[in-house]
Each structure stands twice: as C-alpha cells, then as structure tokens.
A and B are shown apart, each in its own frame.
With several copies, the nearest count.
Chain A
Amino acid sequence: MEKAQIIETIAKRVAKELNKGDVVNLGIGLPTFVANYVDAEMQIIFQSENGFVGLGPAAEKGEENADIVNAGGLPVTILPGGAFFDSSLSFSIIRGGHVDKTVLGALQVDEQGNLANWMIPGKMVPGMGGAMDLVVGAKKVIVAMEHSAKGKPKILKKCTLPLTAASEVDMIITEMAVIEVTADGLVLTELGPETTVEDVIAVTEAELIISDALK
C-alpha cells in the first residue's frame, strides 16, 4: 500500500469506532486524519488539549487566526458551539474521564495493552506532552498506526521502550488489522483489505487470538 492509502485505510476504520456525540481527542500525525472521515451528523466533538472543544478543520490559507491553533501549533478553526479553556480544565476533562475516545500513534504496543510512544532512549526524546494523561484518562484508548516499522513488528509480547502507560490500550487499528486488547490477550477481529491472517502474524510479535467472528 501507498502511504496515503495506509493512512486512509486506518483513519476510515478508526472513524467507525466513534459513536454519535462522542468527545474525542486525536493525537498528532496519523490520528489527525480521522476527522476527515467523520460526517457532521455524527456530532463528534473534538477536543484539543491546548485548550478547547469544538476543534474544526485546518484554517484556510489567508484565514488563519494566530490565537487558534491545535496541539501541534497549526492554525485551525473552532466550530459553532465550541469553547475555549485553560490547561487546567483541559486536563480535568482528559484525566477526569470526560473524553470518550483518544486516538494515538505508537512506537510499540504489547499483549497487556501497554503503550510506548514518547521516547527512544538516547535517540529521540520528544517528551510525553499530554499523552500520559490522555491514555490514563480517556474512556477508550485506540492506537492507530502502521502495523510494522518497515516489516519490524511494533505489536510485541512486551514493550521494550519506556512506557507511556500500562494496560490502558483497548484497541489497535492498523492498515492490516483490527485488534482488541482483552484480559486473555490480543484478539484479531478484523483484517485489512487484501490481507490474510498469515500476513498479519508474519509482522506481529505478540501472540494473536483469532476471533471466531473474524471479518
């Protein structure tokens, strides 16, 4: 798959997980694209952890407002009915369980639903930003990422990188698979377009339980 097609496949599938009226926080990068596949009737409310709900599309060229940016610092818009607030209320919303779904990228996820997505020691230490609060606080945590890093598994038996949070991931959505994190382990519930179970297993280190209802 082309990069653009991978993103589209993942983002479209994540969008199906959102329910009418959900409050949703989308991480920077790939998760941002999810908003493109959510129609207005769904009344999804996107939260931007730098301080508002009602996050709308990127601002049109020439229409940027320097005071309205997303958590990546990019000029965006606020939709009618939205509201601005400070960081303290923003994270009361996040930590307090008022975000229904958070969608984040990952470097590694494992069989226990552990997530590593904020540093590679000695190499890259961007910092956790709001990720640790989001993963701990949101009602449902969806990891949205490419299934492997150029063939190297990212879905592992056990994360080797420093964790973002332990046992908080509920679902993993990649271009190849939809995987649910359960008490019994990782359950493969859905295959991506033109993908076989064998294809998935080949690039997954973690043990996968194949769902009876595999789609």
Chain B
Amino acid sequence: MVEIIGLQEAAEMVSDGASVMIGGFIGVGGPNSIIEALIENNVKDLTIISNDTVTPDLGIGKLVVNKQIKKAIVTHIGTNPETGRQMNAGELEIELVPQGTLAERIRAGGAGLGGVLTKAGLKTPVEEGKRKLDINGQDYLLEMPLKADIALLKASKADKAGNLYYNGATRNFNPVMATAAELVIAEVDEIVEIGEINPNDVMTPGIFVNFIVKGGR
C-alpha cells in the first residue's frame, strides 16, 4: 500500500546513523530532490550505499560536502574530489566495491541469497579479509549481501500503486535497491493513474515501494 508524500516528509524518514541505499549513476537517476531535503534536515552519520558520490554540487555529492556521511559503500569516487579528501583525512570511511559486485550484493540482500560468488576482485585489494571458495577448481570470492534501512530511488514515472518506470539510463541501481531496504521511497518525475503503466512494462513492482514523492526534474 503506497502513499504519496512530500519531499520534507520523505526526508524526515531518514534518521541520524541510518543506512541508506541511493539510486543513480553520477547523479543520473538519483533522488536528487529528496537529497536536497536531507541537506536541509542535516541528518548525520549516514552510511550510504550507492554507485558513486556524484559531483560536489549534486545529490550525494552535496551530502559529502556537507559532511553528513560517515561511511560510503561505492564503486567510484573519482568524480567528487571532496570524497577523496575526506577519506584521506580519515573523516569518511570508504568501502570500494566492484560495480557488478555491488549490484549483486544488493540483489542478494533483496533476494534472500546467502552471498555472491564472483571472480571480480580476486588477487586485488578487494579480496582482503574475504572468504575464497574453490568451486570445481576455480577460485571465487564470497561477497556478502547488502541491505539498508532505507532506499531512496528515482523513477521517471510511478502509478498510484507504486509501480515504477525508468527512462533511459536512469534505471541503473534503482530496481535492485528497491528490493533490499526496510523502507523504500521513490522520487518520481510524474505520478500517473493506475493502468497508465502497462503491467508488462513495470520495472519495479509496487509491492516493493512504500512511498512516492513528486520531485523536480
């Protein structure tokens, strides 16, 4: 059962210290309006799970600049120099994860799987401290599932049953994140009536979504 709420209401659901999955790829397909509200709220000590930390002037990047993040589990921080600075200064903990592994870890969290067995990261710093499995003579890293308190998604369109539709490359991590958090809030460009998204074309079924918010483009 999905409810339509406002940006501030959405932001207030994120508490200090929460773990938050945030969709988007360098901000494209990111819930950037909800993040603006998080910056107003100034919630602190967040653990962020996302592809990257965007740029200093957008979305997650602004949360970094505003020092609201304690830890970030990401694949890439090169587009936001402030992330690297805070990491080197010991102000921000960064866990770097190969992109495919991040997608699978989140998916495993949402799908009730015990972990992910991948070759990505073998014989690199990524394997440090992790269990390795020999499966039929081949080594695989065992990577742990990821879950979060809240997922903040961005979709192009939602119907009033919470079904989501993503345009173009905005889909990225949003559909897997929808499955792996206790509470799921989707910022959307457009809210339509039930029936306006063909049931064949739904990309995230409404059963995964708790709240939708009309965001600015």
Contact = CB atoms under 8 A, between A and B. Distances in A.
Interface of A: 20-21, 23, 43, 45, 47-54, 65-69, 71-73, 78, 80-98, 119, 122, 124-133, 136-137, 162-166
Q: Which 5 A-B pairs have the closest CB atoms?
A: A126-B78, A91-B100, A81-B161, A67-B168, A133-B100
B101 A133 contact: yes
A125 B207 contact: no
B126 A91 contact: no
Nearest to A91: B100
A23 B175 contact: no
Interface stretch (B4-12, B25-33, B37-45): B25-33
B74 interface: yes
A90 B167 CA distance: 16
A35 to B, nearest CB: 17
Q: Which of A21, A71, A128 has the most CB of B within 10 A?
A: A128
Contacts of A164: 124
Q: Which of A50, A78, A97 has the most CB of B within 10 A?
A: A50
A131 to B, nearest CB: 8
A127 B74 contact: yes
A182 B131 CA distance: 30
A49 B1 CA distance: 20
Interface in B159-187: 159-161, 163, 166-176, 179-180
Interface stretch (B13-21, B62-70, B197-205): B197-205
Nearest to B208: A98
B168 A84 contact: yes
Given A69-B28, A83-B163, A163-B123, A20 B172 contact: no
Contacts of A86: 103, 166, 171-176, 203
B176 A84 contact: no
Nearest to A70: B169
21 contacts: A49-B99, A51-B171, A52-B169, A67-B167, A72-B26, A80-B194, A84-B202, A85-B171, A86-B175, A87-B173, A87-B176, A92-B111, A93-B179, A94-B100, A95-B112, A127-B75, A127-B78, A128-B124, A131-B98, A162-B125, A165-B124
B79 A83 contact: no
Nearest to A137: B112
A72 B25 CA distance: 9
A51 B29 CA distance: 11
B207 A166 contact: no
Nearest to B96: A127
Given A51-B172, A133-B98, A83 B206 contact: yes
A23 B118 contact: no
Nearest to A128: B98
Q: Which of A81, A87, A91 has the most CB of B within 10 A?
A: A87
Given A51-B25, A83-B202, A67 B98 contact: no
Contacts of A73: 25-28, 79
B71 interface: no
A26 to B, nearest CB: 15
A132 B121 contact: yes
Contact of B103 (A43, A54, A91, A128): A91
